[in-house]
Structure 1
Amino acid sequence: MNDILVDGVRLAHHHTPGSTGGTVVLLHGTPSHSHIWRNVAPALEADGHGVLVHDLLGYGASERPVDRDTSVTAQAELLADLLAQLGIRRCTLVGHDIGGAVAQLFTTAHPDRVDRLVLINSVSYDSWPSSTWRRIIRDHLDDHAAMSQQEFEALLTRQLEMVVADPARMTGGVLEAYLRPHRTPVGRASFFEHQVRYYDSTPTQRVAPLLRTLPTPTWIIWGAEDRWQPVDHAHRLAADIPGASLTTIPGAGHFPMEDDPQRIVEELRAALARGQAL
């Protein structure tokens, strides 16, 4: 990952120009960072596609600025600046979880800049935060500094175990990679102040009516065993977005890139082979 200064803040990113003439932008969600694409991005790069992954502001290795808006609305605005700075005029935009909210906001605001939209287990409408996150917001958001590191990691581990269909996939080095950005006092505080504090469905409720007239070719990919964003939301998105294609993945949960990364690669390859040419 390299650092780039965008609108006065530092973003960690990886950008590989491709030979096909276009770029696939992979947006992660929460509680996550760009690590989630580690088994997807290299395959697309090997196919010749340009690929951009970055840690959202306040996430992963990106800056954690004090008093900076890190809502999905702000992330979409920052994405526009990042793409402009990298000279990426058009892209295929792939968004997972809250990255899907960022993708919805960006695509409806800039449909001329998105060749294809892919939503993977995306938040939408009033579907978030989930019931478990609402309890965490109620119980810990305003007094998270009083939690011990052990208590915090136990809380986050319980949540991460829910994002995969098979909890054994969220152990060892995989779990460690998701916990690592939060293993300092700053990282732990940032988790609550830059991520949890902005778990707010207002932006996705506001953008929902625009989805019904979205001209962008859209693919919806969903882990069928998602406990946070049940597959009913995928069907609603597919019904609202004109011509949207829906694929559900058996045996995969909210993080299908962990449960079945090869299937995600296959579905993205199929989407990239259709729609507007890259």
Structure 2
Amino acid sequence: MDTIPAYQSELAEPDSLFIEVNGFRIHYKRAGDGPTLILLLHGSFMSLKSWREVSAPLAEDATLVAFDRPVCGLTSRPLPKGSAPSPYSADAQSDMVADLITALGFEQAILVGSSTGGTIAVMTALRHPERVKGLVLVGAMIFSGYATSEVPAPVLGMMKALRPIFSRIMKLMIVKLYDKAIRKFWYRQERLPDAVIATYKREFMLGPWDQAFFELFLATRRLDLDDKLPAIKAPTLVITGEHDRAVKPEESRRLADAIPNARLEVIQDCGHLPQEELPDVFVEKVRTFLRQEQLLAPQD
């Protein structure tokens, strides 16, 4: 990477770490020192801070890494050049996750994916099963939204030809609707401090974020995951909030039914982000799963 984005040096915190993988300078935080890696993948428009309440307890028996996914947080936002494949496609993002695991010094990881982070976790398990020891899918977007969206080819061609105009329009829409959209992820609004949403917004809108997000939008394809899910062999826990409005609980039930031997946990009184809204309950569910499936290697 030629240059380090200014926002990485300006906004990095004392425990911030950076690693270069597949053209990205990835921002991450690491906790614990166990022999098993737990890798946390947050949802769209957010950052690794989505895991702030659960990282410490989950790191007690493992090495835990939370990272800012592409177009989020302090991770760099490279723009594709020429006809090179987009680094923002679902395939490219899942390849990046697999390479991140080895770059961190591990052969496998337990992937914990929230929302579209769950989509990428599933893609990684399908494309790189040797890298995935277990899956925890939290309101994973598999049968709707990101995983099923695709711009018709003629429209896609027009949008690519008129990138500056369409990226500007999308930027205006995101700026206007950001707060309202994020608040819908919570069932009880009083659990979401204003400072948290302000931090998410500030760290999302860094560098050429509008152009990078538009490139991600252009790279979005229908993933057709339905028929592929039975191929997942890793032990899987599916978690849904009882009042999830972004990914309906019925979709999570369908996901648990489609993956062999997957377990389903419904967290009551909760929305799309149980790791934020009810972190203690979330940690208990994940720990129970990891213990019952014997996914955490004993420490020396």
Whether TM-score is above 0.5 comes out as yes
CA distance in 1, matches of 2:261, 2:23: 39
Q: Which residue of 2 aligns with 1:216?
A: 234
Asked if the contact 1:214/1:242 (under 8 Å) is kept, the reply is yes
Give every structure 1 segment of 4 or more consecutive aligned residues whose post-TM-superposition deviation is greater than 6 Å. none
Residue in 1 that maps onto 2:269:
251
Determine the C-alpha separation between the residues in 2 that align with 1:245 and 1:162.
26
Contact 1:116 1:217 in 2 (8 A): yes
Give, in whole Å, the separation in 2 of the partners of 1:112 and 1:185.
35
Q: Displacement, 1:146?
A: 5.0
Amino acid at match of 1:214: I
1:160 is the counterpart of 2:182: yes
Size of the alignment, in residue pairs?
263
1:49 equivalenced with 2:62 (yes/no):
yes
Match of 1:170 among 192, 196, 211: 192
The CA distance in 1 between the partners of 2:45 and 2:140, in whole Å, is: 13
Specify whether residues 217 and 152 from structure 1 end up closer, same or farther in structure 2 by C-alpha distance, changes over 3 A only: closer
Q: Decide whether aligned partners of structure 1 residues 199 and 159 sit closer, same or farther in structure 2, where only a CA change above 3 A counts.
A: farther
Instruction: Say if 2:243 and 2:270, in contact at 8 Å, map to a contact too.
Output: yes
Aligned-residue identity in percent = 28
Aligned counterpart for 1:61 among listed residues 74, 84, 100: 74
Alpha carbons 1:116, 1:216 under 8 Å: kept? yes
Which amino acid in the other structure matches residue 257 of structure 1?
Q
Structure 2 unmatched ranges of 5 or more: 1-15, 81-85, 152-162
Residues in 1 aligned to 2:69 and 2:171: alpha-carbon distance in whole angstroms: 26
Native 8 Å contact 1:115 1:276 kept in 2:
no
Question: Secondary structure in 2 aligned to 1:30?
Answer: coil
Shift of 1:217: 1.1
| Alignment partner of 1:9 is 2:19 | no
CA contact (8 A) 2:73 2:203 kept: yes
Q: How does 1:19-30 map to 2 (within 5 A)?
A: 19=34, 21-30=35-44
Matches within 5 A, 1:1-278: 1-16=16-31, 18-19=33-34, 21-45=35-59, 47-67=60-80, 68-125=86-143, 127-129=144-146, 143-145=166-168, 152-184=174-206, 186-194=208-216, 196-198=217-219, 200=221, 202-203=222-223, 205=224, 207-278=225-296
Task: Give secondary structure in 2 for the equivalent of 1:273.
Answer: helix
Note closer, same or farther for the CA distance 1:8–1:154 as it changes in structure 2 (3 Å cut): closer
Contact 1:98 1:122 in 2 (8 A): yes
Give the TM-score taking structure 2 as reference length.
0.79
Per the TM alignment, residue 224 of structure 1 is displaced from its structure 2 partner at its CA by 1.2
Q: CA deviation at 1:22?
A: 0.6
Q: Secondary structure of 2:292's match?
A: coil
Answer yes or no: is the 8 Å Cα contact 1:182–1:188 preserved in 2.
no
Give SS of 2:231's match. coil
Q: Distance in 1 between matches of 2:260 and 2:206?
A: 45
Which amino acid in 1 is paired with 2:24? Answer: V
Query: Are the counterparts in 2 of residues 17 and 23 from structure 1 also a CA contact under 8 Å?
Result: no
Q: Is the 8 A contact 2:46 2:204 kept in 1?
A: no
TM-score (norm 1): 0.85
Contact 1:128 1:199 in 2 (8 A): no
2:44 is paired with a residue whose SS is coil
RMSD: 2.5
Runs (5+) with no aligned partner, structure 1: 135-140
Between the aligned partners of 1:231 and 1:32, the Cα distance in structure 2 is 21
Q: Is the 8 A contact 1:25 1:94 kept in 2?
A: yes
CA shift for structure 1 position 111: 2.4
Asked whether the 8 Å contact 1:28–1:34 carries over to 2, the reply is yes
* Secondary structure, counterpart of 1:115 in structure 2: strand
Q: Distance in 2 between matches of 1:94 and 1:148?
A: 29
Name the CA distance, whole Å, in 1 between partners of 2:129 and 2:205.
39
